Chain A
Amino acid sequence: DAGVIQSPRHEVTEMGQEVTLRCKPISGHDYLFWYRQTMMRGLELLIYFNNNVPIDDSGMPEDRFSAKMPNASFSTLKIQPSEPRDSAVYFCASSPDRVLAAFFGQGTRLTVV
């Protein structure tokens, strides 16, 4: 397996534009997590899914953020409209179940100008 795959690796966009980040988890993993990493706040959990169902979205900063998992092999994190303070590295991770290790993707570095 190629691991957790995220795209794009880098994204630069203007304030107000819609941004969509994509994630393909490891096949067979039932848990999928979206994290955001900044210098100021470290790694923060935004939302996670179990069997494609959102379980906890309490970390989503505001209504501009939304996440979907239409099937077991794909998830998106959307920001609309984007703001400069959304600039961060966004990581996706997957796990076979809630007691085993989580595997992280390489992240998407988002810059909103």
Chain B
Amino acid sequence: KQEVTQIPAALSVPEGENLVLNCSFTDSAIYNLQWFRQDPGKGLTSLLLIQSSQREQTSGRLNASLDKSSGRSTLYIAASQPGDSATYLCAMRDANAGKSTFGDGTTLTVKP
């Protein structure tokens, strides 16, 4: 059974800092890994999707990496802004069945 862990559970940084969010998983048999953002009381917004055959994806100030051999993914946020404050979740898509397993998320606060 896939287990997904996100560390840290919460992170507070001053504006402008570069930061890394971590996601680890136990079963490397995945189709893809997806990073989401969730604002309080809102739904999930997809940020980046990395296919199993890829190692990283970039979108603007965001860069996500995938290392299946070590069971890890990171989300790098460059030059953080107060608007980046949200909870970030990673999810693994099962290679066999197509369902996703989510981590508990990292709640990021970027202070102006």
| Chain A residues packing against B (C-beta within 8 Å) | 31, 33, 35, 42-43, 45, 48, 50, 55-56, 91, 93, 95, 97-107, 109
Contacts and interface: CB of A to CB of B under 8 A. Distances in A.
B34 A101 contact: yes
B42 A48 contact: no
B43 A48 contact: no
Nearest to B34: A101
Nearest to B41: A109
Contacts of B32: 99-101
Nearest to A109: B41
**Sorted from nearest, which 10 A-B pairs have the closest CB atoms?**
A98-B98, A43-B102, A104-B44, A106-B43, A42-B104, A101-B49, A104-B43, A99-B31, A107-B43, A101-B46
Nearest to B42: A106
Interface size class, chain B: 20 to 34
Question: Main SS of the interface on chain A?
Answer: strand
Interface string B49-68: 10100000000000000000
Contacts of A48: 98-99
B105 A42 contact: yes
Contacts of A93: 44
Nearest to A48: B99
Contact of B101 (A45, A56, A99, A102): A45
Given A42-B103, A98-B31, A103 B97 contact: no
B28 to A, nearest CB: 16
Q: Which of A93, A102, A103 has the most CB of B within 10 A?
A: A102
Nearest to A35: B102
A105 B43 contact: yes
A3 B36 CA distance: 16
Given A98-B93, A99-B51, A102-B34, A33 B46 contact: no
A58 to B, nearest CB: 9
Contacts of B34: 101-102
Contact of B99 (A45, A105, A109): A45
Given A56-B99, A93-B44, 13 more contacts: A31-B98, A33-B100, A48-B98, A55-B97, A91-B44, A98-B31, A99-B93, A101-B32, A101-B46, A102-B34, A102-B93, A106-B42, A107-B42
